[in-house]
Amino acid sequence: MEDSHIPGREAVIRIPVSTENIREELNFYRSLKEQFRLYDKPVDDLDFIIRNLEEQIREFDEGNAPLPDQRRIMELIAKHPYFKNPCDYPIRLLTILKYLKRKGINMHYADIDVYVDNLLQKMDGVRKVGRGLYIMRGRE
């Protein structure tokens, strides 16, 4: 029977880092680091992840943050009940932004409303009919 504990072996865990809410990820890895320290485990890899997340937050705060995934946002908008079954009244941009936030899209970007406005206008059948108002073509 082999001894399952062999000195010098490592356990490697691959955990994808979510970029949707970087600050929550950072808090998670900091609390995980405290648990590692509590049990005298090495924290070098966690320090590397924490430094990368802090750098992403710094870039975000400086205004150099990457924009959210355009394809994912457009897919989520297409799944909104209004776009699945359009009606005679227009939908407001604020309603769409709230829907995207509920679906997990990070709304902490400068001018996210302008970004989503441009995406809406690129969608097939969607037309802007007023300030922050959109309607499906043929439903005016």
The C-alpha atoms of residue 68 and residue 73 are separated, in whole angstroms, by: 8
As a whole number, mean pLDDT of residues 126-131 equals 87
The C-alpha atoms of residue 95 and residue 133 are separated, in whole angstroms, by: 10
pLDDT on residue 68: 73
pLDDT in tens, 41-53: 888 888 888 888 8
Find the helix or strand (DSSP H, E) in which 26 lies: helix 22-38
pLDDT on residue 140: 46
- For the chain, what is the largest distance between any 2 Cα atoms, rounded to a whole number of angstroms? 76
Q: Return the amino acid letter for 47.
A: D
Q: Return the amino acid letter for 38.
A: L
pTM summary value: 0.52
pLDDT band (50, 70, 90) for residue 19:
low
Contact 86, 135 (CB under 8 A): yes
Q: Return the amino acid letter for 61.
A: D
